[in-house]
Amino acid sequence: MYARATNRRGNKIKKMLGKLSFLINFSFFGSSYLLSAENFLFNLETS
């Protein structure tokens, strides 16, 4: 019983870590993607 409870807690922590790494990757790649999109639009307007 005790092992199952700790295992459930471990799964919760794993899920939270997964979400956290996903958010970090998403924000990092999202920001770089937005920057490149802005540069692309800026180049279109200036040319």
User: Tokens 């790649």 map to which residue?
Assistant: 29
Per-residue confidence (pLDDT) for residue 1, from 0 to 100: 54
Q: What is the pLDDT of residues 1-47, one digit of tens each?
A: 566 777 788 889 899 999 999 988 888 888 888 889 889 988 888 87
Pairwise CA distance, residues 37 & 27, whole Å: 15
Number of domains present in the structure of the chain:
1
Query: Which residues form the domain of 24?
Result: 1-47
Pairwise CA distance, residues 25 & 39, whole Å: 21
